[in-house]
């Protein structure tokens, strides 16, 4: 062993220095000089104005925030992960914004007085938000 390079491997399960933030995984040493991935549900991707970063099945994912979540000055999240500018000075069921408790942009049970229930594919809190009177997994059914 005199004057020879002998690799010193890290013990199995030791964290590797090769980490990627927000990928829902931790790279760990296998004890033989290799690296393997281990699921890490605490290594979530960063959230943004209209999406919550999370891990689903070991993969990074984004969950859209509910419609009407404020995301800027006169702006709300639309329920699909995007921030939209409200067009009216006064919140209404026709201001191109999910506000006032609307389940999606300008529709839902709160807009029934102006005939604006949500169509298929739109976000819903309950079945009475939908034209079809059917809401499953927060989405209006046809």
Give the pLDDT confidence of 10-24 residue by residue, as tens digits.
Answer: 677 788 888 899 999
In a domain, 25, yes or no: no
Q: What is the pLDDT of residues 21-49, one digit of tens each?
A: 999 999 888 877 788 889 999 999 999 99
pLDDT digit string, tens, across residues 101-140: 888 889 999 999 999 999 999 999 999 999 999 999 999 9
Q: Model's pTM, two decimal places?
A: 0.59
Is the residue at 44 inside a domain? no
Domain presence at residue 95: yes
User: Please, which pLDDT band fits residue 5 given cuts at 50, 70 and 90?
Assistant: very low
Q: In terms of residue numbers, what domain contains 135?
A: 65-142
Q: CB-based contacts of 128: which residues, under 8 Å, 6+ apart?
A: 109, 112
Number of Cβ within 10 Å of residue 53's Cβ equals 16
Residue 142: inside a domain, yes or no? yes
Residue 19 in domain: no
Joined tokens for residue 9: 């491997």
Going by the DSSP 8-state scheme, the letter that residue 23 receives in this structure is S
11 in a domain, yes or no? no
Assigned domain for 132 exists: yes
Which H or E run contains 32? Answer: none
Q: How many domains does the chain have?
A: 1
Q: What is the DSSP string of 75-138?
A: EEE-SSS-EEE---SS--TTSSS--TT-SBTTBSGGGGGGT--B-TTSB-SSGGGBTTS-EETT
Supply the Cα-derived Rg of the chain in whole angstroms: 24
Question: Above 60 in pLDDT, residue 2?
Answer: no
Whether 38 is covered by a domain: the verdict is no
What is the C-alpha separation between 98 and 64, in angstroms, rounded? Answer: 13
Tell me the backbone φ, ψ of residue 110, rounded to 5 degrees.
-70, -15
Please report which confidence band the pLDDT of residue 6 belongs to, taking 50, 70 and 90 as the band edges: very low
């Amino acid at each position: 062993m005199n004057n020879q390079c002998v690799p010193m491997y890290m013990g199995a399960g030791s964290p590797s220095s090769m980490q990627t933030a927000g990928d829902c995984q931790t790279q760990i040493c296998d004890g033989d000089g290799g690296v393997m991935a281990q699921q890490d549900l605490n290594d979530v991707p960063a959230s943004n104005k209209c999406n919550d970063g999370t891990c689903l099945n070991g993969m990074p994912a984004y969950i859209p925030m509910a419609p009407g979540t404020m995301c800027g000055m006169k702006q709300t999240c639309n329920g699909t992960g995007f921030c939209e500018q409200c067009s009216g000075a006064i919140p209404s069921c026709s201001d191109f914004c999910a506000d006032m408790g609307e389940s999606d942009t300008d529709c839902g049970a709160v807009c029934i007085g102006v005939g604006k229930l949500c169509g298929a594919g739109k976000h819903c809190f309950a079945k009475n938000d939908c034209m079809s009177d059917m809401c499953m997994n927060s989405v209006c059914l046809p």
